[in-house]
Amino acid sequence: KQEVTQIPAALSVPEGENLVLNCSFTDSAIYNLQWFRQDPGKGLTSLLLIQSSQREQTSGRLNASLDKSSGRSTLYIAASQPGDSATYLCAVSKYGNKLVFGAGTILRVKS
Amino acid sequence: NAGVTQTPKFQVLKTGQSMTLQCAQDMNHNSMYWYRQDPGMGLRLIYYSASEGTTDKGEVPNGYNVSRLNKREFSLRLESAAPSQTSVYFCASTLGQAKLGETQYFGPGTRLLVL
């Protein structure tokens, strides 16, 4: 059974700092990995999707990498801002878009 | 363009009562999903519908039923609510054409409290 773990569970950083969020998964036979953002009391917003054949994806200040063989992904946020404060969720899928989620990392960026 | 909408936003039930959570999408997506989110845990898939007219169980289907009413709407029904079903429920959708995975679009969630 696929299990997804996110470390750390919570992170507090000063504004402007670069940071890395970690995600690991137990079954490397995935089709893709997605990173989501969730604001308090809201739904999830997709940030980046990495297909299993890809090594990384970038969007603005966000860069996500995937090492399928070791079962790891990282989300790098450059020059963090208070508006980046949210919960970040990692999810992996096999065939058919059925996602298995990690518990998330709660990020607080202090101004 | 509203995306994925869910009703109600919040509901309180007594143990044994029934209710239906509604979800609709206006993006002409083929596939729809129901998840639940509990504190300290990731979202878990309850049921999904790969296309209109089909439904299938996810990771935690016990105590729930679903109906894919048409291409736009996918409802989740609790026949006899239990306190263990207290959770936040999210509906999501994907275009459903790429077998290797697609971005999922989520609704704002329904917060359910079962007393």
* Partners of residue A91 in chain B, C-beta under 8 Å: 42-43
DSSP collapsed to 3 states, B101-114: CCCCEECCCEEEEE
Q: How many helices (H) and strands (E) does chain A have?
A: 0, 11
User: Which pLDDT does position B100 carry in this prediction?
Assistant: 62
- The percentage of chain B sitting over the pLDDT mark of 70, rounded to a whole number, equals 96
B33/A97 touch (CB, cutoff 8 Å), yes or no: yes
The chain-wide mean pLDDT, for chain B, equals 93
Contact in structure between B40 and B30 (CB atoms under 8 Å): no
Contact in structure between A96 and A43 (CB atoms under 8 Å): no
pLDDT tens-place string over residues B29-60: 999 999 999 988 889 999 999 889 899 999 99
* Interface membership of B106 toward A (CB under 8 Å): yes
* Interface membership of B61 toward A (CB under 8 Å): no
pLDDT tens-place string over residues A8-45: 999 999 999 999 999 999 998 888 999 999 998 889 99
Distance CA A18, CA B66 (A): 43
User: Which pLDDT does position B98 carry in this prediction?
Assistant: 63
Of B45, B50, B106, nearest to A43 by CB-CB distance is: B106
Tokens of A30: 């995935």
Question: In which band, very low, low, confident or very high, does the pLDDT at B1 lie, cut at 50, 70 and 90?
Answer: low
Minimal CA–CA distance to A54: which of A75, A72, A37, A68? A68
Of B48, B101, B108, nearest to A43 by CB-CB distance is: B108
B101/A43 touch (CB, cutoff 8 Å), yes or no: no
Distances (CA, A) of B115 to B15, B24, B51, B81, B82: 6, 27, 35, 9, 8
Mean pLDDT confidence for A81-99:
90
Distances (CA, A) of B31 to A103, B15, B56, B74: 24, 31, 11, 10
Rg of chain B over CA atoms, in angstroms? Answer: 13
User: Which pLDDT does position A97 carry in this prediction?
Assistant: 78
* Interface membership of A97 toward B (CB under 8 Å): yes
B110-114 and B10-13: which strand pairing? parallel
* Interface membership of B9 toward A (CB under 8 Å): no
Q: Chain A: give the shortest CA distance to residue B43, in Å.
A: 6
* Interface membership of B41 toward A (CB under 8 Å): yes
Query: Nearest residue on chain A to B46, judged by CA atoms?
Result: A98
